[in-house]
Each structure stands twice: as C-alpha cells, then as structure tokens.
Structure 1
Amino acid sequence: MIRLFAIAGGLFFTVAALWSFVTGAYVAATEGLGEETAEYAFHEHPKDLHLASDGVFGKWDVNQLQRGYQVYKEVCSACHSMKFVAFRNLADLGYNEDEIKAEAANWQVPGIDPNTGEATTRPGLPTDYFPSPYPNNVAAAAANNNAIPPDLSLITKARHNGSAYLYSLLTGYQAQPAALLERFPDSKTPDGLHYNPYFPNLNLAMAAPLNPEQVAYADGTAATVDQMSQDVSAFLTWTAEPTLIERKQTGLPVLGFLLFATILAFFAKKQVWAAVKPAKRKD
C-alpha cells in the first residue's frame, strides 16, 4: 500500500512538472504575438554600464562613489529618501569622523522637542539615517503629480539589472519618436508626464533631473549628464549592497578551499578503498 501511495505521489509531481513546463514554454513562445502595444514595441533594454565594482575581482571606485553621493545630496535628495543608509556608513566612502559629523549636521532629521514633546526637526547625527524630504506619502504624492518618489536605498536591487537601468533612465529622456505616434496615435505622452523608453510604460512623472554642470565636482571631473548618471548609479549600487566587494573577496578563498577539500576527499577515498578488490561476477 505504501508503495502505491509513493508511486501515485511521484506521478502527481511528474505531471505537475510537465504541466508547468508546457504552459511556460507556450507563454514564452506566444509572448508578444498578440496585439502589439507601444510599450512592447518601443521599450528599450538598459544600456551597457561598466562599473569598477563589476566582475569577480571588482573594487569600489571611492572617488566615483563620493561624486555619486554629491549628486544624490545636491539633486536626488530633493525628492527621494534613502532610509536604510546611515550617515556613519559614509565612512566606507573614505570620509573621516569629523567629515561625517559635519555632513550629518547639514541635514535636518525628525526629532522631539524636549520641552513640549512635539515633533520637530534637528541637525542630524552620524547615527541617524538619511531623512525623507516629505513628512508622509500624501505630501510626497501632492508634490509630484500624484506619484510617490521611491526610496533609493535599495533601488538597484529592486530593479532588474538595476545599475544599468538607473543609468539608462537618467540619460534616456527624449521627445517621443514620430514612428511611435504614427503606429500608435493614442499613445501621446500625457500632460505632466515625460517620455523615457527605458521606463516600462514609457512615461513617468519624474522630469529629467540632471543638467550639465548641475554640480561642481571637487576633483575637477566634468559634470556631464552622462558622468553624473554613472556616478550616482555607482553610489546607489553601493547603498544597495555595501558589502558587495567583501562578499566577492570572501567567496574566492571559500571556492578555493572547497576545490582543495574535494581533491583531498577524492584521494582519501582512493587510499581508503585501494585494498578492496571488486567482487568477481558469477555467470
């Protein structure tokens, strides 16, 4: 009886796996074969972005991360929060203790009036997290054409190919192509929205946030839109995974140890079983 139940269970899971495979293959084969939409026809995949942190042997470009932080501070922070990053984390970018204290003090964070107990604001401390520019989501939506700006702490992990996606989005603002309006006359970008082929539905509430020379880099780097987009994308790659490089550096020795242990186990097995001869077959 137990054997029958086991066979029935195996058949059930086999049929379920085959059904999932067949339906998945059908969807993949027929995707996009129906009525074509403007989003499907004109949405573009992210551009190539090569950061110093890419690859197995990648490392943070600290100068670029500092430039990216400057772009966030002077441009992006007007609308976007970064609630999972503390000021003290800036030590990873090469800032010393005094510089971090000064940076934190330049920000106003939520606080409590010790005399009245009412909510107020105060200069930030190294232990505080980057504050939101809005008191709540209602205020954020009201200030941004009914769209709530997303928190940027983990944005490059929350989007597919996030670093390249962010870079492409920031550099991708343009006028709607004439070909789009010819094929899809009803797809004109609504008032208050902005065309960007790297955004999934092609139109987003955020206007192009970057303009040439919008920030003045301390290291003299030319602040082109492309350069600022790369820098802030690198910075937000760090905020999303600040231990990325340490993880890679740890992973290589671990893989080396596992390879060595596997070889050692193989030779140990050969040594242990060397004196055991295989039994002769009886025909």
Structure 2
Amino acid sequence: MLRYLNYIIGAAFAFVLLLALWGTASELISNPPEETAEEVFHLEPMALHLQSDGPFGTYDLRQVQRGFQVYKEVCSACHSLKQVAFRDLQKIGYSEAQVKAIAADWQIEQPGVNKDTGEAATRPNVPADRFPLPFANDVAARAANNNAIPPDLSLMAKAREGGPAYIHSLLVGYTDPKTYTHDGKALMKEFPDFSVPTGLHFNPYFANLNIAMPPPLTQEGQVQYQDGTRPTINQMAKDVSAFLMWAAEPNLTKRHATGVGVVLFLLIFIGLTFGAYRNVWRGIKH
C-alpha cells in the first residue's frame, strides 16, 4: 500500500512540474520578453587579418614590435602583462642589449628589499623579470579606474572570443551613443531611456555596451613608430592586437612548423605502409 502511495505522490509532483513548465512556456510564447539594447546593438568583432592567421601563420615581427611600443607607451599604464618576461622580447627580434635597456628603463621597478635596512624597496628590472604590475594592489587599481580592475593582457588574445579581432574592434569601437546606428536602427530612437552611467564609455563591441576603460587610442600619432609606419588609430589598434596575440601564444610559429613536419611524416609513412602492403600481398590471389 505504501509503495502505491509513493507512486501517486511522485505522479502528482511530476504533474505539477509539467503544469508549471507549460504555464511558463505559454507565457513566453504569448508575451515574449522585449529585446534589450545589448541584444540589438551589440556587435561581433570586425574581421582582422594578421600574418599569424591560419595553420601556416607566422608572426610579422615588425608589426609585433610596433604593437609592443603601443603597449609600452599606452596600455602599460593600466594593464599588466605578468605572464611575459622582458627576455621573451628577444623572440620578436630585439637584441640582448636592447632587452636589457628596455628592462632597465621600464617606468615601474620590481619590488625588493633594502639590503642595508631590510625595509621594502624597489630595484631596476632585469631581463629575467616579468613585466611589473602597474598598481601595488587591487585597491589601488580600483581607485584609479572607476572601481574596475584593468585585466591582465598576457592571455587576453586567447581568453576572449574573437581573439585579436575582438581587441582591435574594442579599441576602435568607441562612439557617441546619441548618434549611433546599426542596421538602419538608431540606438536612442529604439531605446530612448538608454543612458551611459557616469564613468563608463559606450562601445558596441563590449558585451553590455558600457565599458569602464576610456578610449586608450584617441588620435593619430599618439605613438611615433620608429620604422616610419603611419600611426593611425586603426594601425595602432591592429599592431597592439598582433602583439597581444604573440604574448598569448609566443610559440605559435614553432608549433605550426612542427605540425607541418608531423603531417608530412605521416603522409610519407602512409605511403611506405601502403607500398609494403602491396609488396607482401601482390603474389597472393583472392
């Protein structure tokens, strides 16, 4: 008797769940939720073509060096690169002497200890050091950035969907929401109550359209390239995106070369195996 009672209770519970599910589904069908500004006006990253794209891609070292210059002169004031060491810059074409000079001249020094007093101090960077953090701690980072902690950029090109294309689009995507249109729709006409909170900035490539980071690239010539390349905002954004792609995957070229070698080996091995098979079985009739 108790077993049948359990069946009845279970069936009643399942019926109530199905009834609730049906009610929710019916409500969504009859009264679908209104679209939000984020759903209508958020944009996917623009296409960005880099030399590192594809299975045979390699890094354009001149472009990566230009991107490092943009990071050094613009991005490093707020964003860390804590997974990269100064000596890694030799992989993008800098000499050992140049790397030593870059490390020694870096604006922020490494934390250390005064050997005479034992008190906290700083010391110049050396090539073996990783890039130092721009802020002493998260509290200082929030205080300087409208209560938002600037993310580390070491793996940003791999951590965000779209990779370097997302970074490039975000950097060039700042615009005025009052005049912004997409697919023939005006933001302020479709959503007249939309506003950008104080301290935030409108960017349709950011997930919720409002980002704490102000436009870092604001004018042509903000960085003076040493190789003579014209430093437009688009060019600087593209170059720093290429640099951050290298920072996230510095061994990409080697990995691609290894992959090509493995594929060629397998093709040769398959050919030799097939030839051996034909040689062993050629005199045997089926």
TM-score (norm 1): 0.83
Which residue number corresponds to residue 256 of structure 1?
264
Q: What is the 5 A alignment of 1:187-198? A: 187-198=194-205
Does 2:38 align with 1:39?
yes
Q: 5 Å matches for 1:69-84?
A: 69-84=68-83
CA distance in 1, matches of 2:280, 2:138: 67
Instruction: Return the alpha-carbon distance in structure 2 between the equivalents of residues 125 and 101 of structure 1.
Output: 6
Q: Which residue of 2 aligns with 1:106?
A: 105
Aligned to 1:137: 138
Structure 1 residue 118, shift from structure 2 partner: 2.5
Partner of 2:169: 168
Letter in 1 for 2:274: F
Displacement, 1:52?
Answer: 1.6
Report deviation, 1:275.
Answer: 5.1
Shift of 1:34: 4.7
User: Which residue identity lines up with residue 112 of structure 1 in the other structure?
Assistant: V
Residue type of the alignment partner of 2:195: K
Q: How far apart are the structure 1 equivalents of 2:155 and 2:50?
A: 17
Q: Which stretch has the larger CA shift, 87-96 or 74-83?
A: 87-96
Letter of the 1:60 counterpart: Y
- Greater Cα shift, 226-235 or 50-59: 50-59
Q: CA RMSD in A?
A: 1.7
2:245 aligned residue (233, 237, 252): 237
Measure, in 2, the Cα distance between the counterparts of 1:182 and 1:118: 60
Q: Provide the C-alpha distance between the structure 2 equivalents of 1:124 and 1:106, rounded to a whole number of angstroms.
A: 8
Please show how residues 24-103 of structure 1 align to structure 2 within 5 Å: 34-103=33-102
For 1:155, the equivalent position in structure 2 comes to 156
Measured against aligned partners, the alpha-carbon deviations of 1:195-219 in whole angstroms (never above 9, x if no partner) come to: 1011111110000001221111111
- What TM-score comes out, normalization by structure 2 length? 0.82
- How many Å separate the matches in 2 of 1:165 and 1:71? 17
**How big is the shift at 1:276?**
5.2
Deviation of 1:274 after TM superposition, in Å, equals 4.2
3-state SS, counterpart of residue 185 of structure 1: coil
Identity, % of aligned pairs? 57
| 3-state SS, counterpart of residue 129 of structure 1 | coil
> In the aligned structure 1, how far is the partner of 2:100 from the partner of 2:69?
16
CA distance in 2, matches of 1:189, 1:104: 39
CA distance in 2, matches of 1:111, 1:224: 39
Tell me the residue number matched to 2:210: 203
Match of 2:276 in 1: 268
Deviation readout 1:69-123 (Å, 9 max, x if unpaired): 1110010000000001000011112111111111100121222221233222111
- The whole-number CA distance in structure 2 between the counterparts of 1:187 and 1:118 is 52
Rounded to whole Å, the distance in 2 between the matches of 1:72 and 1:242 is: 16
Equivalent residue, structure 2, for 1:128 = 129
> Is 1:214 aligned to residue 234 of structure 2?
no
- Structure 1: stretches of 5+ with no match in the other structure: 1-29, 279-283
Partners of 1:187 and 1:129 lie apart in 2 by 42
Aligned-pair CA distance for 1:269: 3.0
**More off after superposition, 79-88 vs 49-58:** 49-58
- Once the two structures are superposed, residues 203-258 of structure 1 have per-residue CA deviations (whole angstroms, 9 ceiling, x without a partner) of 10000001221111111111110110011001111000011011111111110111
2-side partners of 1:119 and 1:172: how far apart? 42
CA deviation digits over 1:173-216, x for unaligned, max 9?
A: 00112622222233311111001011111110000001221111
Cα distance in 1 between the residues matched to 2:83 and 2:175: 32
AA of the residue aligned to 1:54 = D
**What SS does the corresponding residue of 2:122 show, helix, strand or coil?**
strand
Matched residue type, 1:42: F
- The residue type paired with residue 218 of structure 1 is Q
Q: Secondary structure of 2:84's partner?
A: strand
Which residue type is aligned with residue 41 of structure 1?
V
Number of corresponding residues: 247
Aligned to 1:18: none
Structure 2 unpaired stretches of 5+:
1-28
Q: Match of 2:121, SS?
A: strand
